[in-house]
Structure 1
């Protein structure tokens, strides 16, 4: 099974497995309605955050039974967000593809941390996991995430109109993607 070498360090951040003690930091952003507006689920309770932290302490392993890897994004000892790789095609029925995603504390918005962390997780997906394609799906009105995709060099491949039943309403769905042989250009932006 694929494994990502941890921790991943960038100029300012450390991407690592969740660990006991992260609960307060994660609760600080995962409990905020405006932060979870564009991700599945509702604002989390402290108990749900404790479960999330415990479940996601994976040491970089991606298993066939649970093909996602969620990593804490740490800045100066504080978890400010998390990033996700969700693999497809581990069973050999499809080319390896990975969906990526991110969620960050509102007080760090606009400082480039999401782009920096998304770039690092994309690099790991291509270089360590060996995926063929990395993609992200988002509501077109989520302009901050659309900008992250564009900074990674992803192209907007499609917008599906009212194609997603999400949080009790039909929403549009934009798909951004990048192929492995395009990554060096995307990694330089």
Structure 2
């Protein structure tokens, strides 16, 4: 499927493929428990982060069903790596993709994750002609739930204790949006805290 050319720019962000020079910043994020708290994997060692980076550097196209694109998200003004966004091709027949995101907690509260995720939804519907966008998350992840609600996605399912993740039974929530709902979805303007040197 034809993705927009990289890098993809939003009002404050740059979405781009990962590069070898991201190793230090990726490790600093992925080695933290508060970053990986709701993920399938826990804090990574330097070696594990380097393996993850090598894999991410190959995730730049949606060629066949099952492919996943993973893009680094930089702050446009400074080039700081804030996090990443994911776009996975779930079904060709049903024109469905899944979005995901991981952001460093030091940048929480500025609306960056909402801004980046909204760009993925736009790409899915406007560029890729998808019928349906979904997101799956640990139901305890309140911040991620609020983000999906800001995007205009609706909660469609709540599966109770359906996955055993890192030593505990976790509930899973599923959010979705249809192409017919996208033009009317109103992405809330993110609450932006003051950052030094930023409006």
TM-score w.r.t. length of structure 2 = 0.86
Could you say which residue in structure 1 is the equivalent of 2:81?
Answer: 79
Could you say which residue in structure 2 is the equivalent of 1:144?
Answer: 143
Shift of 1:129: 2.2
Shift of 1:183: 1.1
Number of residue pairs matched by the alignment: 186
Secondary structure of the corresponding residue to residue 141 of structure 1: coil
Structure 2 spans left out of the alignment, 5+ residues: 189-199
Shift of 1:78: 1.3
Could you say which residue in structure 2 is the equivalent of 1:183?
Answer: 182
Shift of 1:3: 3.2
Structure 1 spans left out of the alignment, 5+ residues: none
For 1:1-189, what aligned pairs fall within 5 Å after superposition? 1-58=1-58, 60-64=60-64, 67-75=67-75, 76-90=78-92, 94-186=93-185, 188-189=187-188
Secondary structure of the corresponding residue to residue 34 of structure 1: helix
Shift of 1:184: 1.9
TM-score w.r.t. length of structure 1 = 0.91
Shift of 1:59: 7.5
Q: Distance in 1 between matches of 2:59 and 2:68?
A: 12
Q: Distance in 2 between matches of 1:9 and 1:136?
A: 22
Cα contact 2:65–2:90 (8 A) shared by 1: no
Shift of 1:27: 1.1
Cα contact 2:31–2:45 (8 A) shared by 1: yes
Q: Distance in 2 between matches of 1:51 and 1:8?
A: 25
Q: Which moved more, 1:155-164 or 1:11-20?
A: 155-164
Secondary structure of the corresponding residue to residue 11 of structure 2: coil
Cα contact 2:148–2:175 (8 A) shared by 1: yes
Could you say which residue in structure 1 is the equivalent of 2:195?
Answer: none
RMSD between aligned residues? 1.7
Shift of 1:177: 0.5
CA offsets 1:81-107 (integer angstroms, 9 cap, x no match): 0010111123xxx31211111111111
Q: Distance in 2 between matches of 1:87 and 1:55?
A: 17
